[in-house]
């Protein structure tokens, strides 16, 4: 059944149950000094290449890129310029990469840059993604919200401009250190004394991912997008994100749109802007960048037939949320109730339930119970992923009677609506037995 979001009436205050934020994700840029094209030509410095390959083999890579309808490959010196850990980059590359630069050995040494704005934001603000998020270094914690002044988007814009400036400094540094090219000296020889190196170096955005993240929302709440794009979308199964790619209704369009569940309670709508379109909306002026990104998001939604201003997630009942997980895991709804809200923690299977065990195991929902917790052959527990999802869903279980958020009672394994009194009892869903639970409780307290 197709859903027209514009015809749905929401009660007052519904908007308070969800939130949204706009963030920049991954960005790819080109870096060059235009006047070097006429000064250096198109030669390949084999001596420098062989020297760097001998001394820094981990940084010398062959990179293939599309050009004039085909593919070309050339050797680059690729090095991270910002990582999670502090210290000298050349000797400390154990952390996740935040930004990198890749300089071609072929003259005039055009470079490519890549940086991840989510990692950059978390690194700048001292957020450890493995403590503050879903053990994912490419999504902000759900607790970080946008305000009426667009403070979050403005901070992303500031960090973006700073990274562009850093690329100019880094490119100037590596040209001199690796290839012996001193832009400051060349500009004097070319009578361009009035221009500083950062004015001579151009950084141009080639593609950028900009995401609208809908908070306290699940994938099912945006199924009307799937219905509207039924004739031109591709759904990818096999993981919890259940990514959907929406192809453009127009040929030659430079906007790509995909939607997926980035974490429990975070439904991400990701737009990728390519070529001149990315440069149109990702401008290098801090005064206009936040507004330009917002306009780009508006136009991107409109291109696919949606109005960003009026868009909102559909309401869900508690069972609707569970049905969404049932679809992801390809499990019956009763199984999902057992996984997320059932009574048992320690699990034991017999011949009759062997098939259930294999299905849960194949989805990564159960793991063998550890020996220090009383584990032995045949005993299982819910995985850490299940535990995190249980916690994350606390604010998403909505009463089907009055639309209030229901409170989960961990001791009685049930959801209770404190507004109208409705109770959803999950204690009937159990694998294992009470004796196993008691033994586990005693072991965990020792």
pLDDT, one tens digit per residue, over 371-389 is 777 677 788 888 888 877 7
Q: Is 423 within the bounds of a domain? A: yes
Domain-located, residue 309: no
Return the exposure string of 16-36: e unless at least 16 CB atoms fall within 10 Å of the residue's CB, then b. Answer: ebbebbbbbbbbebebbbebb
Q: Give 218's contacts (C-beta < 8 A, 6+ positions apart).
A: 261, 264, 265, 267, 316, 321, 324, 396
> Which 3-state string (H, E, C) describes 390-423?
HHHHHHCCECCCCCCECEEECCCCEEECCCCCCE
Does the model's pTM come out above 0.95? no
Task: Evaluate whether residue 391 is within a structural domain.
Answer: yes
- The answer to the question of residue 153 being in a domain is yes
Which has the closest alpha carbon to 322: 226, 426, 430? 426
Do 244 and 336 share a domain, yes or no?
A: no
CA separation for the pair 27, 278 (Å, rounded): 10
**Residue 308 within a domain:** no
User: What is the pLDDT, as a whole number, of residue 442?
Assistant: 52
Residue bearing the bigger pLDDT, 256 or 12: 256
Based on the domain organization, do 154 and 19 belong to the same domain? Answer: yes
DSSP tag of 130? H
CA distances from 275 to 220, 250, 255, 292 (A): 32, 16, 10, 16
Do residues 389 and 266 share a domain? no
Q: Tell me how many domains the chain contains.
A: 2
Domain range for residue 337?
318-445
**Rounded average pLDDT over 153-167:** 97
* Measured distance CA(443)–CA(446) in Å, rounded: 5
Domain C-terminal end among 271, 303, 335: 303
Shared-domain flag, residues 291 and 404: no
pLDDT of residue 224: 83
92-101, 121-130, 298-307, 419-428: which is most confident: 298-307
Last residue of a domain, one of 280, 303, 326: 303
Do the Cβ atoms of 368 and 380 come closer than 8 Å?
A: yes
Of 269, 303, 337, which residue constitutes the final position of a domain? 303
Distance CA 229, CA 245 (A): 10
Residues 268, 350 within the same domain: no
* CB contact set of 275 (below 8 Å; sequence gap of 6+): 206, 207, 254
Burial class (CB in 10 A: 0-12, 13-18, 19+), 322: buried
Give the tens place of pLDDT for each residue, 134-159.
Answer: 567 788 988 899 999 999 999 999 99
Q: Which of 164-173, 350-359, 381-390 has the highest mean pLDDT?
A: 164-173
Q: Is residue 411 part of a domain?
A: yes
Alpha helices in 62-182 (DSSP H): 117-124, 129-132, 151-179
Q: How far apart are CA 40 and CA 173, in angstroms?
A: 18
Q: Identify whether residues 436 and 294 lie together within a single domain.
A: no
**Interval 16-31: pLDDT, tens:** 567 899 999 999 999 9
273 in any annotated domain:
yes
């Amino acid at each position: 059944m197709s859903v027209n979001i514009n015809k749905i009436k929401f009660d007052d205050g519904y908007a308070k149950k969800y939130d949204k934020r706009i963030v920049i994700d991954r960005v790819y840029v080109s870096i060059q000094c235009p006047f070097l094209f006429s000064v250096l030509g198109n030669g390949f410095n084999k001596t420098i290449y062989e020297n760097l390959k001998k001394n820094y083999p981990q940084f010398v890579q062959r990179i293939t890129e599309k050009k004039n309808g085909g593919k070309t490959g050339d050797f680059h010196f690729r090095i991270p310029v910002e990582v999670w850990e502090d210290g000298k980059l050349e000797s400390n590359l154990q952390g996740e990469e935040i930004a990198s630069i890749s300089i071609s050995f072929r003259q005039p040494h055009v470079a490519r840059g890549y940086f991840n704005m989510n990692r950059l934001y978390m690194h700048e603000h001292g957020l450890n993604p493995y403590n503050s998020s879903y053990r994912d270094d490419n999504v902000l914690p759900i607790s970080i919200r946008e305000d009426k002044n667009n403070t979050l988007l403005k901070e992303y814009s500031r960090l973006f401009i700073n990274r562009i400036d850093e690329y100019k400094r880094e490119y100037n540094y590596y040209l001199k250190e690796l290839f012996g090219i001193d832009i400051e000296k060349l500009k004097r020889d070319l009578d361009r004394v009035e221009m500083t190196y950062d004015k001579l170096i151009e950084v141009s955005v080639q593609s950028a991912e900009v995401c609208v993240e809908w908070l306290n929302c699940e994938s099912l709440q945006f199924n009307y997008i799937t219905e509207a794009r039924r004739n031109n979308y591709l759904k990818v199964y096999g993981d919890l994100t259940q990514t959907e790619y929406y192809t453009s209704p127009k040929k030659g369009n430079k906007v790509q749109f995909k939607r997926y569940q980035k974490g429990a309670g975070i439904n991400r709508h990701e737009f990728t802007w390519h070529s001149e379109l990315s440069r149109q909306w990702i401008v290098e002026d801090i005064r206009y960048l936040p507004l330009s990104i917002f306009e780009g998001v508006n136009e991107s939604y409109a291109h696919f037939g949606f109005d960003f201003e009026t868009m909102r997630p559909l309401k869900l009942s508690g069972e609707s949320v569970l049905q969404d997980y049932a679809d992801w895991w390809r499990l019956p709804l009763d199984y999902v109730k057992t996984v997320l809200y059932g009574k048992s923690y320690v699990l034991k299977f017999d011949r009759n339930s062997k098939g259930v065990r294999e299905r849960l195991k194949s989805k990564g929902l159960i793991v063998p119970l550890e020996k220090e917790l009383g584990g032995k052959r045949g005993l299982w527990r819910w995985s850490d992923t299940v535990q995190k999802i249980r916690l994350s869903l606390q604010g998403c279980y909505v009463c089907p009677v009055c639309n209030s958020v229901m409170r989960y009672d961990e001791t009685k394994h049930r959801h209770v609506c404190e507004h109208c009194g409705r109770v959803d009892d999950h204690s009937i869903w159990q694998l294992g037995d009470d004796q196993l639970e008691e033994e586990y409780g005693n072991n965990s307290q020792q």
